[in-house]
Structure 1
Amino acid sequence: MPHIPLESHLPGITGLLEYSKATAQPIRDLTQFLLRGPSSLTEAERELIATVVSHGNECTFCTTAHTAAADLLAGEAITAQKVKENIETAPVSEKMKALLHIAALTRQSGKSVSEEAIARAKSAGATDVEIHDTVLIAALFCLYNRYVDGMGTALPADPAYYGVLAERLVNHGYTRLPQGYEHLKK
């Protein structure tokens, strides 16, 4: 049960973003830029970063939502699952393994990101911008995970909601739908 009154048809982060549109807008803008803006990392790779962090933080809503988005973007449902199980044996590039490791360290504490982890990423071909963006995405999803769980948001009543959410994230990004979310009351 949410700690504050939220619209029941908007589980997880969506209800919180609708509750406070003023604070939601800068968060949405940053998320849109980091996960859907120009980058040498694919959108699927950036969703994997969100997935790893959310999974490590045990945030069910965010883990499930970003796994679904990563799966949809990748066109398959194996990679995100394998990344959650073990980054080192997951079917991703060495560069991506190193970046996901940095994301996992960032999730623990910013001070956990070591020179060795950075050197590994650089030797695997990661650019300074990719390292920067990985840490920033990881930090942002720590914020999201704590916001969602700290406010006691509800999980969707129907697990199919995550598929609808993934399609919205892939097709519309992280911006608020112009028509709002009344259509989800159905």
Structure 2
Amino acid sequence: MTTRSGTPTDLIDTLLGIEPGSPLARLRARRPEATHHTQGSYDALFASAVPATTVTTTERFAAALRVARLHGDQPLAEHYAGQLLGADGVTKELVTAVEDVRPLRPATEPAAPEPLSGQGRLRAILAHADLLVLRPAAATPADLDALAEAGLGAAEIITVSQLIAYVSFQVRLLAGLALIRGDERSAPGPVRGPLEAPQTGFTQEQLGWTPWLEPVAAGDVTDEQRAVLPGQRLQSPYFRLLALDPEVLGERTATDNGIFYTRGGLPRQERELAATVTSRVNGCVFCASVHSRFASQLSKRDGDVQRILDEGVDTPLDDRWRAITDIATALTTTPPTAGHAHVAALRELDLDDLDILDAVQAAAFFAWANRLMLSLGDPEPPTQP
């Protein structure tokens, strides 16, 4: 069974060669919501029959290819290169230009290769991909202005941002699953990110958040948008902003729930620990505040959590939290540097493969969440204690 774009029903299984009934297939089946909606997110971004915005097929696959190449993920890049080459009017020269990821250069220099100089809109999207992959905490309102000046509307900016962040999640999920299976993997290239992540300002206090784009007003949401804004999410400017592309938001929320709100496996407080560590490394003050608070409340280890925020991920911890912190940190770098030693350290502490899958998916998901939060708005102190 394939999607409309010719992509297999489960792209992760296909890229890793996961056979039905194999240990890794059975493991993924123990987290059916996360597995199903990871693919559902792909379908919403790349294979939907009626896209929520007018971001073209070429732009979508070009951005995804750029993200995969920036991470040095060869199989994922080959997939997106093939999908891009199959889009209407795309030439091999365009694919080559998108793949031309050169050594890091100052932010003032063009981020996209020169062969794209005549394609201002696509060039702006690729430049945004470079920013969100390598320097997500350096994003400013001016970066969204650059997309708007290239012709993207607010809903299109949300779609592009979701896409870049989603592929960043895919990269880390693929790496983590391969390590759980024990695959021999080539050594990652030099660490290129995250750059310019702040090292101060982290807190467990409840923060506000101000969007850089205008979210849909609570009173103006459509029925489709209301369906993906349950409960208090309707009052959140962040989620009302993401609801500009409701199909993708719905799948993303279901993926999130399937990773963090399931029975068995890694205790919830340690999934929140992985989210906190990822947010600390990426420099997402807002995400770190939310998930450090959860980790503290559930574990009753406020002091340990606060030291991670204050001192960084290398602060002294007990063996179990050290091992979880280390694999989350190594998955967060660009490219991911997690290796077999990280998985072995968890197994030596009697964590089983479901525990390790939960840690991997929690860290990988916050590669997605942080990139959205960092590039679409600013955290702000609460108006009241």
Q: Same fold by TM-score, threshold 0.5 exceeded?
A: yes
Post-superposition offset of 1:157: 4.8
Residues 1:19 and 1:79: Cα distance change in structure 2 (over 3 Å): farther
Question: For 1:154, what is the secondary structure of its paired residue?
Answer: strand
The residue that corresponds to 1:83 in the other structure is 308
Unaligned runs of 5+ in 1: 162-186
Structure-2 residue corresponding to 1:52? 277
Q: Deviations over 1:59-85 (max 9, x none)?
A: 111111111222222345223113343
Q: Which residue of 1 aligns with 2:186?
A: none
**Residues 1:99 and 2:308 aligned together:** no
Q: Deviations over 1:109-168 (max 9, x none)?
A: 4641111122111112121222222122111101110111122x132451669xxxxxxx
- Could you say what secondary structure the match of 1:89 adopts? coil
1:31 aligned onto 2:240? no
Question: Hey, what's the Cα distance between the residues in 2 that align with 1:16 and 1:75?
Answer: 33
Following superposition, the deviation at residue 34 of structure 1 comes to: 1.2
TM-score (norm 2): 0.37
CA–CA separation in structure 2 for the residues paired with 1:18 and 1:159: 25
Shift in CA distance, 133/76, structure 1 to aligned 2, threshold 3 Å: closer
Residue 118 (structure 1) aligned to one of 332, 343, 358: 343
**Contact 1:47 1:66 (C-alpha < 8 Å) held by counterparts:** yes
CA contact (8 A) 1:95 1:125 kept: no
Kindly name which structure, 1 or 2, has the bigger radius of gyration based on alpha carbons: 2
Residue 39 and residue 160 in structure 1: after superposition, are their counterparts in 2 closer, same or farther (change >3 A)? farther
Please give the alpha-carbon distance, in whole angstroms, between the structure 2 residues aligned to 1:159 and 1:39: 38
Q: Is the 8 A contact 2:266 2:359 kept in 1?
A: no
Please name the residue that 2:379 is paired with: 155
State the partner residue of 2:214: 5
Match of 2:73 in 1: none
Distance, in Å, in 2 between the alignment partners of 1:83 and 1:63 is: 10
Whether 1:21 aligns to 2:230 is: no
* Separation in 2, partners of 1:62, 1:159: 18
Q: 1:22 to 1:157 in 2, by over 3 A?
A: farther
Measure, in 1, the Cα distance between the counterparts of 2:371 and 2:379. Answer: 15
Any idea what the Cα deviations from partners look like across 1:18-70, whole Å, max 9, x if unmatched?
A: 44332111111111121111132211111111000001100111111111222
**Maintained 8 Å contact 2:307/2:315:** no
Write the letter of the residue equivalent to 1:89: P
The AA in structure 2 aligned to 1:60 is V
Shift of 1:10: 3.0
Answer yes or no: is 1:108 the counterpart of 2:317: no
Q: Secondary structure at the match of 1:4?
A: coil
**Conservation of the 8 A alpha-carbon contact between 1:106 and 1:113:** yes
Inter-partner Cα distance in structure 2 for 1:157 and 1:98: 32
Q: Which runs of 4+ in 1 moved over 6 A?
A: none
Kindly indicate which of the two structures has a greater share of residues assigned to helix: 1
Contact 1:52/1:83 (8 A) holds in 2: yes
Alignment root-mean-square deviation, CA? 2.6
Work out the CA distance in 2 between the residues paired with 1:109 and 1:23: 24
* SS of residue in 1 equivalent to 2:254: helix
Return the letter of the residue paired with 1:6. P
- What does residue 65 of structure 1 align with? 290
Task: Count how many residue pairs are aligned between Structure 1 and Structure 2.
Answer: 157
Q: Give the structure-1-normalised TM-score.
A: 0.72
Q: How does 1:134-173 map to 2 (within 5 A)?
A: 134-151=359-376, 153-158=377-382
